Structure 1
Amino acid sequence: MNRMLKATAVATLCCTAAAGLGYIGVAQAKGDGGLGVRDAASAAWTTRTVHAADRADAFVGEKKINVGGHAVNVSCEGRQSRRGPVVVLVAGLGDGLDKMADLQKTLSKKNRVCSYDRLGEGKSDKPEGPQSMADTGRVLTGVINRVAGDSPVVLAGHSLGGLIAARYAPDHRDKVKGLVLLDATSSTTSADVTRAIPESATGDAGDLRAQTVAVMQGQNPENLVVPDGRVRSAGWIPTQVIRHGQPYLSEFPTYGPQLEADWTKGQYAWAAVSGRATVHKAEGSGHYIYVDRKDIAVKSIQRVAAQVTQRNGGWWGHAGR
């Protein structure tokens, strides 16, 4: 089959740009919120409390900050307005912050925008062992505390970054006041793929199934275990869910139509994250919406940021809805 099509399917379903990782076995780490399998010394950083600063670090450019004893690479641009949010970009698995640099530069004309490399990505430290979603959430908390202080935050995540943002927001309603999910990895990716492609499948389909299982169980640059889970509500925060417009997954032999249908269903499922969520299709876009249709990504993020600014100036900006 077309090599580019296979790579694109892997990149989408496995939520990673590193399609060449291949299937190298199933990770041994398990769990949804624990620390995973690691020794006491390497686990200690996750128990350290990171206190929110009264004032954000207003640096511009790229620098490494300390989060629980780990160096995390962060980049920020733009000026912070008095009532406006800080936009935090969350890249997909296999991508560093440089992948979203052009988007960040454009958005910085109207908002303060920051991005970061998760542990195992870009210039940040490597994780010592398997990471859970709780682990990667603690890193995000450290970044937000440093770059936003007591300002509201809009999380804009692509692919796995969208899944991380959507799972993070319900537990951090005090900080996260808006969401933009750009073709976010489905909350039921493992179940969808293993249901659509039978265990008996061989060839490219069998490889795709095996790679997806491996990546979601921790065989990825971040050693991050990504279990399936239900979509939880973050309240009534402004939320834009943007799905790809080119149904390229349908072109995958035999199983493509079901894969595309499940992916689309997963995008609509993310709307349950907020009572103010809307779902849109980025016409002419593949998985990398912010590259293929940068205009749509920019307008969506700016729209949510403007709504957060408006809410932050009124009584319901502090109502915790």
Structure 2
Amino acid sequence: MTQFPAVRSPSVRPPTARRASLLRRLTLSAGLLAGVTLLGACNETRAEQADARAYPPPGRLVDVGGFRLHLECAGSGAPTVVIDAGLGAWSTPWHAVQGLVAGTTRVCTYDRAGLGYSEPGPLPRDAAHFAAELHTLLHRAALPGPYVLAGHSLGGLTMRVYAQRYPQDVAGLALLESMSPQPGAAAPTAASDTPGLPLLKLAARLGLVRLLSGPLGLSAGLPARDAGPATALAVTDRYFQTLSDETAGIPASLAQAGEVTTLGDLPLTVLSRGRNAVPAWTAGQARLLTLSSRTTQVTAHHSGHNVELDEPQAAADAIVALVRQLR
């Protein structure tokens, strides 16, 4: 009888061996990821420490009750102008406007808590709390009033609330492309974060936002002297946390400002963009004119929303005209 050679069956690794191999690969990948994460976080910490040495606060830090706010003043004369920036913004982009106004009177910019050079403050981050903190800042800094308040975008809501709560402190109000509550509009009690903000916060903690700061154009439109510090202050996880907190407070800020329906005969200037205006925003700017019986409307013809970058001269001219009117 013919015998055939035995045929070997292909070797098959036992299930236990396959699981062990997969576990080793997963462990190695997790270790590499943890190492890269730790390295990125350590490098970002060192970079932020270097930035703090390279870009010290140009103004002074004033304690307002457990945390300090950054205040920077220039020029001389009265009334003193106080500028508040928009959502997630601080004093640095307003240096051009500040320099132009300083030729006429004293002008101060400040950074809301957690932004720019200011230390983080307590929640919630809304117009009522911003106004209270600003009031404490100005008085503890011994700045003589009454003031001309100038608020851009979200800062316009703060200044509107401030003018109503502390009328003895306010000589005039300039709303520069200010947000404007819509009467009768139902607003949620809280705003959810912009979906990308938590991810950006993590990316900032690992140094990825710093790595991409050039392509992201974080200092676009700023002069060279401001580009470095502006980028340094915008690539940290603290910045994105504060931006998230301010975004969450927008509905409350709109509601608080909406309760201010009249400022009597307080001199009021409303500056609005000349480019890229949409009907809803234009209607909101018109509503701002009804807040006082003494209003002036100004258009920055060559500017979009960020008038401090697009047309700083127009913003400065509107503020200076209000100062001269008061004098």
Shorter chain as denominator, the TM-score bin is 0.5 to 0.7
The one-letter code sitting in structure 1 at the alignment partner of 2:280 is D
- Assess, with a 3 A threshold, how the Cα gap between structure 1 residues 146 and 127 changes in structure 2: closer, same or farther: closer
Aligned mate of 2:95, from 69, 77, 101: 101
The corresponding residue for 1:266 is 284
Match of 1:91 among 85, 89, 96: 85
Alpha-carbon distance between aligned partners in 2 of 1:167 and 1:111, rounded to the nearest angstrom: 24
CA 1:172 to 1:284, structure 2 compared with 1: closer, same or farther past 3 Å?
same
Deviation for aligned residue 1:230: 4.2
Counterpart residue number, 2:270: 241
Aligned to 1:284: 302
**Which residue of 159, 166, 173 maps to 1:172?**
166
Say which SS state the counterpart of residue 99 (structure 1) adopts: helix
Q: Secondary structure at the match of 1:166?
A: helix
> Structure 1, residues 247-267: CA drift from partner, whole Å, max 9, x if none?
35xxxxxxxxxxx21111111
Q: Partners of 1:211 and 1:167 in 2: how far apart?
A: 25
The letter for the 2-side match of 1:70 is F
CA distance in 2, matches of 1:183, 1:192: 22
1:150 CA drift (Å): 3.8
Q: Is 2:249 the counterpart of 1:220?
A: no
Amino acid at match of 1:226: S
1:184 equivalent among 168, 178, 181: 178
Contact 1:187/1:231 (8 A) holds in 2:
no
Per the TM alignment, residue 78 of structure 1 is displaced from its structure 2 partner at its CA by 1.1
Q: Relative to total residues, which structure has the larger helix share, 1 or 2?
A: 2
Q: Residue 62 of structure 1: which of 54, 59, 78 is its match?
A: 59
Residue deviations 1:238-295, cap 9 Å, x none?
21101111135xxxxxxxxxxx211111111111222101222221210011321222
Answer whether contact 2:64 2:137 (CA < 8 A) is retained. yes
Supply the distance in 2 between the matched residues of 1:155 and 1:211 (Cα, whole angstroms).
29
Structure 2 Cα separation of the partners of residues 118 and 65 of structure 1? 12
The alpha-carbon distance between structure 1 residues 193 and 293, as it changes in their structure 2 partners (threshold 3 A), is: farther
**Residues 166-202 of structure 1: CA deviation (Å, up to 9, x unaligned):** 22212221011111111001223994999xxxxxxxx
- Indicate the structure (1 or 2) with the bigger Cα radius of gyration: 2
Query: For 1:278, what is the secondary structure of its paired residue?
Result: strand
Opposite residue 87 of structure 1, the aligned amino acid is V
Residue among 57, 69, 72 paired with 1:72? 69
Q: Counterparts in 2 of 1:23-62, with a 5 A limit?
A: 62=59
Change beyond 3 A, Cα 1:272–1:68: farther
Question: Corresponding residue for 2:17?
Answer: none
- Structure 2 distance, partners of 1:119, 1:267, is 27
2:320 maps to what in 1? Answer: 302
Aligned counterparts of 1:156 and 1:185: Cα–Cα separation in 2: 13
d(CA) in 1 for partners of 2:114, 2:193:
22
Work out whether residues 125 and 245 of structure 2, in 8 Å CA contact, stay in contact via their aligned partners in 1.
no
Question: In 1, distance between residues paired with 2:193 and 2:245?
Answer: 17
Q: Which residue of 1 aligns with 2:19?
A: none
Determine the C-alpha separation between the residues in 2 that align with 1:192 and 1:247: 26
- Distance in 1 between the 2:81 and 2:301 partners? 24
- Given the superposition, is the C-alpha separation of residues 265 and 193 from structure 1 closer, same or farther in structure 2, using an over 3 Å criterion? farther
Which of 247, 251, 261 is the aligned partner of 1:232? Answer: 261
Amino acid at match of 1:114: C
**Which runs of 5 or more structure 2 residues have no equivalent in the other structure?**
1-56, 198-241
Would you say the 8 A contact 1:241–1:270 is kept in 2? Answer: yes
Q: What is the letter of the counterpart of residue 297 of structure 1?
A: A
Change (3 A) 1:268 1:230: farther
Distance 1:164 1:190, change over 3 A: farther
CA drift at 1:308: 1.9
> Hey, what's the Cα distance between the residues in 2 that align with 1:124 and 1:301?
25
Distance 1:156 1:116 in 2: 11
How far the C-alpha of 1:296 sits from its partner, in A, is: 1.5
For 1:240, the aligned partner's letter is T
For residue 210 of structure 1, report the CA deviation from its aligned partner: 8.4
* Distance apart, 1:67 and its partner CA: 0.6
Q: Which residue of 2 aligns with 1:26?
A: none
Q: What TM-score do you get using the length of structure 2 for normalisation? A: 0.60
